[in-house]
Amino acid sequence: MKAFKILKLMDHGRGFFEKRHVNYPALRAILQTKLLMDQRRVPTIMSGSGRKKHGQRERNHFLSSLWFYALIGLVLVPFMIMGGNYTFQMSLAYAIIMFIIMTSMVSDFSSVLMDIRDRNILASKPVDTRTINMAKTLHILIYMTLLTGATTGIPLVVGLLRHGVIFFLIALIEVLLSDILIIFLTALLYFCILRYFDGEKLKDVINYVQIGLIIAIMIGYQFVVRSFDLVSLNVTFHLKWWDVFIPPIWFSAPFELVLHDRVNGYLILFSFMTLLVPLLALAFYMKLMPTFERNLQKLVNRGGKQKSQRRFSLESHKVLCRSKIEQAVFQFSCLMMKKEREFKLKVYPSLGFSIVLPFIFIFNALHDGSLADLSTSKWYLSFYFSLVIIPSVVVMLKYSGNYKGAWIYKALPIEEHGDIYKGAIKAFVYKLFVPLFLILAVVFIVLFGFRIVPDLIITFLNALLYVYICFLMTGKVIPFSRPFENIQQSDGIKIFFLIFIILGFVGLHWLCTIFSFVLYGYLLVLLAVNVIVWRKGFLLAARSFKG
């Protein structure tokens, strides 16, 4: 059995707990179990990393995720190095800290906080509520300490070296205060959602926060290096009355007040709020706790009746698919992509990323030339970078959190497996890729003008062809039929090579843009190839898979 150092540390304070009539052995057992389970949970932030192989030594997922947080925390370093404009730099720094901590709290720790199994497992044992609540509080405390420690540790040391001890002390205390505020805000958020909606809605909210966190981190990385430019930036910043509503700005006030000896009404008010609001929030949270627990019971209950499902608008499945089976799989896949949380968590972030990726290239181009130069250039070919999601989503189509439901394909009298693949792939194109394509297309037409419309059509046709290639290379598996835990390393390698194919498309397209008649010829050829592929390709592929 693993001995947790933190528990050994806690043993020294045994007297403290026993004085408060807490059942110490039970408290220790609960915490030990909870920490053990934390280790085995893969945090959202790490969800992209490889899975544990059988027989490998058990890895502490939680501890290794802390390294990630330390890395993300480096974003804060420039704000610590900056000169003495505390209002500006510290409010930004605290905004980032609060964002990181709160999102990871919501995305990873909420499942722990709201473990409804606790009630049946713990409350049926001779353990009183005081002990259970103490265990819960300590658990949150341990989690928050490690998380904020990892995120803010390096920046705080940098701040200590740059601005001295007093700066460091203020920053440290404020980090703790902001933690309290975050716990309170998270609890309040859950409380409100559970008060007015059911548990399913809450799970959706958590899911979207998780997705947002991943997108923010992926995009954030792009700016880490650039953010060092900010060091030379000097922004004058005047406090306004409405800053009262923005907590990170309060947190910047004590720095100005103490380190710059600047005294004015706002700074004094905000400094007071920095101290007072989190403490009030803590008191309020303690009061709210029992009501919160009661609302938590709603998580167990089945959600209310769903509003009657909208019919598929336009009967898209009938337009896009021929055979009945293909239509069925298409509809089913659309629903899975829309509703299955685990699938969304795995796929939606890369969707968001692929929207941003082309612009990162365009921004680099803007660095060298003007907007007018850009609009006449061939930078619109950067559109192709949005295709990077295609291989990963096509691979992901194989997986599902409810993979066990796939027995139904085996049990049904389905003759053409090609229809199954085709339906699922079409659903992906229709439900995920086309919307993404349209959004990007609009922005690109604004940037480059209508002249690029034929190019966009070519891009789209190439994308469709690319979808098929990706399917050929990675297909062979019935959609939504495997657990996410089985994601193969070899899939990653395949995706990597498939992404290189995109460069081929870009190159060919670029060559064709030299003469416009070649471009239109290319368009027609692509159209013909696509018609053949989407008519026959899947059936042929399915038969070859069998053989």
Judged by the rule CB under 8 A, the positions of this chain that interact with another protein are 1, 23, 25-26, 28-30, 32-33, 36-37, 40-41, 117, 119-128
In whole angstroms, the minimum distance from the beta carbon of 117 to another protein comes to 4
Name which of 196, 182, 188 is nearest 147 in CA terms: 182
- Identify which of residues 29 and 447 has a Cβ nearer to another protein in the complex: 29
- Identify which of residues 376 and 486 has a Cβ nearer to another protein in the complex: 486
- Identify which of residues 49 and 129 has a Cβ nearer to another protein in the complex: 129
In whole angstroms, the minimum distance from the beta carbon of 213 to another protein comes to 22
Check residue 263 and report its DSSP letter: -
The CA distances from residue 413 to 321, 407, 410, in Å, are: 19, 12, 8
In 10 A of CB 351, how many CB atoms? 19
- Identify which of residues 227 and 400 has a Cβ nearer to another protein in the complex: 400
Q: What are phi and psi of 378, to 5 degrees?
A: -100, 20
Structure tokens at 139: 């658990």
In whole angstroms, the minimum distance from the beta carbon of 122 to another protein comes to 7
In whole angstroms, the minimum distance from the beta carbon of 133 to another protein comes to 13
- Identify which of residues 138 and 467 has a Cβ nearer to another protein in the complex: 138
Contact between residue 484 and residue 342 where contact means Cβ atoms under 8 Å apart: yes
CB neighbour burial string for 364-387, b if at least 16 within 10 angstroms, e if fewer: eeeeeeeeeebeeeebbbbbbbbb
Contact between residue 64 and residue 143 where contact means Cβ atoms under 8 Å apart: no
In whole angstroms, the minimum distance from the beta carbon of 62 to another protein comes to 12
In whole angstroms, the minimum distance from the beta carbon of 201 to another protein comes to 18
Helix (H, G, I), strand (E, B) or coil at 23: coil
3-state secondary structure 284-345: HHHHHHHHHHHHHHHHHCCCCCCCCCCCCHHHHHHHHCCCHHHHHHHHHHHHHHHHCHHHHH
The CA distances from residue 50 to 61, 63, 491, in Å, are: 11, 15, 11
What single string gives the DSSP state of each residue in 373-430?
HHHHSSGGGGGGGGGGHHHHHHHHTTB-TTGGGGHHHHHS----HHHHHHHHHHHHII
- Identify which of residues 28 and 431 has a Cβ nearer to another protein in the complex: 28
- Identify which of residues 2 and 451 has a Cβ nearer to another protein in the complex: 2
In whole angstroms, the minimum distance from the beta carbon of 120 to another protein comes to 5
- Identify which of residues 194 and 458 has a Cβ nearer to another protein in the complex: 194
Q: For the chain, how far is it from start to end, CA to CA, in angstroms?
A: 49
- Identify which of residues 38 and 455 has a Cβ nearer to another protein in the complex: 38
Which residue is associated with the tokens 């803590």?
Answer: 282
Phi-psi region of 106 (alpha: psi -120 to 50; beta: other; left: phi over 0): alpha
In whole angstroms, the minimum distance from the beta carbon of 304 to another protein comes to 12
In whole angstroms, the minimum distance from the beta carbon of 58 to another protein comes to 11
